[in-house]
Amino acid sequence: MIYLDYAATTPVDGEVLDAMMPYLKDDFGNPDSTHAAGRSAARAVSEARAKVAEALGVNPLEVYFTSGGTEADNWAVRCLGTGRAAVSAVEHAAVLEGAKLREEGFDLIPVSAGGLITPEAVCSALKPDTGLVCVMAANNETGTVEPLKEISEICKERGIVLFSDCVQASLLDLRELTGLCGAVALSGHKIYAPKGTGALVVKKGVKLRPLIAGGEQERALRGGTLNVAGIVGFAVALERAQRERQRYAAHCKTLRDLFEDKVKAAFGDRVRMDGENRLPNISHLTFVSAPDALLAKLDLAGLCVSGGAACSSHSALPSHVMLAMGRSEKEAKHGVRFSFGKETTEEEILQAVKILTECIK
Ligand code: PLP
C-alpha cells in the first residue's frame, strides 16, 4: 500500500506515543481530582499547555484543549466575538456548517480561481455589524496558503476578530500566524498525534462563549474531563512539528515537485494542478477526462489518496472548494488530492505516478 493522504491523517509518532503511555495506564488520575493522582495528571496537562503556548508564542491561559479541529472550528465560528461572521467559501465543513448555527448570522467571502481569498473580497463581505472574520491559513484540498497578514490588517483597523483554521498549516510558522489572529484552531492527528486531540487558541481580550456546557474545565469555558494522554501527545507533536518544520517542508516540496513533474510529463494538458501559492505537501489534480470511480481504481491498485477532503469522501457531492473556485459540477467531482508526509519516499512517488498512469489509461 502506498499512502499519499497525510492531509487526511498521519500516524502517531513514536516519541508522541512514548510521552502518552504513562497517562494511559499508571498515571491515570483525573486532572480535576485534588488528590495525588489527580495532581499528577493536572501537572502533565499544565506542562503540555506551557509547551503548546511556547510553540505558538502565546500565554498558556490562551490555550483551550478540544477534541480536535472540528470542535475548535465550531466553537470559534459560533462563540467568538459579537455580531455577524464573514466566512470564506473554501473553509472546512466544520467552519461552514458551524457558521449556519451562529446566532447573529454570517456572510460568505468568495475566492479567486486559484482559491485565494483577497483582502478586497474580505472587505466587500463585511457588514456594519460584522464582528468575526474566518479565513483558514491553508486550504485542506488545494493547499492554497491565504494572505492572512493583509487580512489581519483589515480586521485590526476595524476592530474585528480574525479567526484562522490552522489545522493544515503545520509546515508554516504557527507563531507568526497566531500573532496575526485573535484565535486559531489546531488538530493533533494532522501532526503525528492521536485523533481526537487539538486546541482552540484565543487571545486575551477576545470574547469567547462556551460551546460545551458542563464542568469547570478550561476556565469553565469547555466542560468535559480532559484527555490527559491526548493532550500530552498533542503538545509533544506540535513542538516537534514546529521545530522540524523547515526540514519537513523541504522534504515534502522535493517529493511534491518530483510528483508534479512526472504527472505533467505523463498527462500534459490533460491534467490541471489546482490552487496557487500552495503548501509544499499537497497536490490537487483534476484530469480532463477522468475515468469513473478513479479513486476506487487507485485504491484497488494500492494507492491511498482522497477526492478532496477525507471527511466528505463518502459523499457523491461535488467539492464545495472546487465549486467556489469556479469549477463546473463535473470537474468538482473529479479532483484527486495527493498529500505527502515526512515518511514519503521517492520510490513511493514514482510508484504512485505509475499506478495513476495505468488507472487513467
Ligand atoms: N479543518 C481543516 C482544514 C481540516 O483539514 C480538518 C480535517 O480534515 C479539520 C478542520 C477537522 O479536524 P478534525 O479531524 O481534528 O476534527
Residue with cell 470511480: 293
Amino acid at position 166, single letter: C
pLDDT confidence of residue 314: 62
Mutation pick for ligand 1 pocket among 10, 146, 167 (CB with most ligand atoms within 8 Å): 167
Mutate to test the pocket of ligand 1, among 166, 168, 187, 234 (most ligand atoms within 8 A of CB): 187
Query: What nine digits make up the cell of 339?
Result: 498529500
Digit-coded pLDDT (tens) for 162-198: 999 999 999 999 999 999 999 999 999 999 999 999 9
Task: Specify the higher pLDDT residue, 311 or 196.
Answer: 196
Is pLDDT above 90 for 313?
A: no
Cβ atoms of 45 and 219 closer than 8 Å:
no
Contact (Cβ atoms closer than 8 angstroms) between residue 307 and residue 318: no
- The candidate with the shortest Cα–Cα distance to 148, out of 172, 171, 113, is 172
Write the burial class of residue 319 (CB in 10 Å: 0-12 exposed, 13-18 middle, 19+ buried).
buried
Report which protein residue has its CA nearest ligand 1's atom 10: 69
- What is the β-pairing status of strands 63-66 and 198-202? antiparallel
Task: Quote the ligand 1 centre to 209 CA distance (angstroms).
Answer: 21
pLDDT band of residue 310 (cuts 50, 70, 90) is: low
How high does pLDDT run on average in the chain?
Answer: 96
311 is catalytic: yes
**Mean pLDDT calculated for residue range 43-65:** 98
> Any bridge partners for residue 3, and if so which?
304
163 CA from centroid of ligand 1 (Å): 15
pLDDT-derived band at 351, boundaries 50, 70, 90: very high
Q: Which residues line ligand 1 (CB under 6 A)?
A: 68-70, 73, 92, 94, 136, 140, 165, 167-168, 187, 189, 198, 309-311
Whether the predicted pLDDT of 312 surpasses 90:
no
Task: Output the CA 168–ligand 1 centroid distance in Å.
Answer: 8
| pLDDT above 90 for 309 | no
List, for residues 215-238, the tens digit of each pLDDT value: 999 999 999 999 999 999 999 999
Which residue's alpha carbon is at the smallest distance from atom 14 of ligand 1? 69
- Cα distances (angstroms) measured from residue 111 to each of 56, 120, 278: 28, 10, 15
Lowest mean pLDDT: which of 57-61, 156-160, 285-289, 307-311? 307-311
Task: Kindly state the average pLDDT of the residues 247-251.
Answer: 98
